[in-house]
Amino acid sequence: MMKTSPALRRRTLLLATPALAMPAIGRAQETFPSRTIEVVTHAGVGGGTDITARMMMVHAPGEFKQELVVVNRVGGSGAAALAYAASKPRDGHTILLITQTHLLTLLRGRAPGLTYEDIVGVARATEDPQVLMVGKGSPFRTAKDFLEAAKTTKFKFGTTQVGGVDHLAVYGFAKEAGIQQPTIVPFRGGGDIAINLVSGNIDAALVNPAEPEAQIKAGDIIPLLVLHEERVPSIPDTPTAKEIGINSTHATVRGFAVLKGVPEDRLAILEEKLIKAMSTPLYQNYLASTGQAKGSVAGRRVWQAQLDAFYRTGREALAELGITR
């Protein structure tokens, strides 16, 4: 895919160094952006979020008339990436590609010197809806039957990291659907969850639809309910929560953000050009092929509102679950 070679990236970094050394005065009058833009991600090279950044970057240089480079700062669930961004001037030349995980890291005080108020959303990049799924051995074939039974039975739900984004989604969904809080069985990744759904070790899980695509096709995993405004194209027969009268939407999201202090006019430029770069067929194809929602790309207002909402509910959920640090 569109991977910049490490050598190439290093060269662009070197080219960017003289610009860094330039005095701050005079830069205000310059056209923005005036040098290479760094896109900081917490994912390693080839990770999901890293690929999102690189997909956006295919057409972004043409929009910005500047080079863009990905900076991978792995570690601490986004803490390393946040710390790196905090070490850079807040002039718009450093943008973060964040996920809900970054917000949880901030929420739990794991990013020294930064709070949620420092995060300013610029544009949303991907939105991957969560879908309630069961294995083929499950007696339930519709969401209604499952949820009815879940009112009296404590089911086992497979998730990733306890206290992580997926866990909070299960917690929120159970509250919104009025079912018993399920027992959480944490796994390392979506693949393990899929295998254990098929083998019946867990009763259900909230999964992004693209992950167990092979198993859904084979009938080994049955999607019951889409926790999104619209149905998912790859599983057109699965109803949304709204259709059966439950107000519950959960998704894995990624989007661009900067740290507070970047001037308003530069924010507007970043928003406009990023959205343009992500409106190209190439990026939209990438969204479709990875099962992301059609309306993934969204501007500042939508994205900031979503971040605020997630931060609010996340804080409540973590407090209720007793996970604060």
Binding segment for another protein (CB under 8 A), chosen from 22-30, 116-124, 159-167, 261-269, is: 159-167
Nearer to another protein, 15 or 214 (CB): 214
Nearer to another protein, 121 or 212 (CB): 212
By rule CB under 8 A, what string of x and - marks binding of each residue 216-245 to another protein? ----x-------------------------
Neighbours of 21 (CB within 10 A): 6
Nearer to another protein, 76 or 299 (CB): 76
Q: State in angstroms the smallest separation of the CB of 162 from another protein.
A: 4
Distances in Å between the Cα of 167 and the Cα atoms of 50, 182, 190, 277 are: 23, 10, 13, 32
d(CA 125, CA 300): 11
d(CA 257, CA 122): 5
Neighbours of 125 (CB within 10 A): 28
Neighbours of 278 (CB within 10 A): 27
Torsion angle of the four alpha carbons 97, 300, 62, 73, in this order, in degrees rounded to the nearest 10:
-10
Which of 16, 58, 86, 184 binds another protein (CB under 8 A)? It is: 184
Nearer to another protein, 110 or 242 (CB): 110
Cβ-count burial 279-295 (b if 16+ within 10 Å, e if not): ebeebbebbeebbbbee
d(CA 98, CA 103): 8
Nearer to another protein, 26 or 113 (CB): 113
DSSP run (H or E) holding 144:
helix 143-150
Which of 16, 58, 74, 288 binds another protein (CB under 8 A)? It is: 74
By rule CB under 8 A, what string of x and - marks binding of each residue 161-180 to another protein? xxxx--x-------------
- Residue 23 near another protein by CB under 8 A: no
Q: Percentage helix, strand, coil, to 5, in the chain? A: 40, 20, 40
DSSP string over 207-227: E-TTTTHHHHHHTSEEEEEEE
Binding segment for another protein (CB under 8 A), chosen from 21-29, 70-78, 91-99, 278-286, is: 70-78
CB-based contacts of 18: which residues, under 8 Å, 6+ apart?
none
- Residue 284 near another protein by CB under 8 A: no
The number of residues making up the chain comes to 325
Which of 13, 58, 83, 210 binds another protein (CB under 8 A)? It is: 83
- Residue 263 near another protein by CB under 8 A: no
- Residue 210 near another protein by CB under 8 A: no
Which of 117, 139, 188, 247 binds another protein (CB under 8 A)? It is: 188
- Residue 187 near another protein by CB under 8 A: yes
- Residue 6 near another protein by CB under 8 A: yes
Which of 39, 55, 56, 71 binds another protein (CB under 8 A)? It is: 71
Take residue 171 and report the two structure tokens written for it: 């917690």
Q: Interface with another protein by CB under 8 A: which residues? A: 3, 5-6, 44-46, 71-77, 79-80, 83, 110, 156, 161-164, 167, 183-189, 191, 195-196, 198-199, 201-202, 214, 220, 323, 325
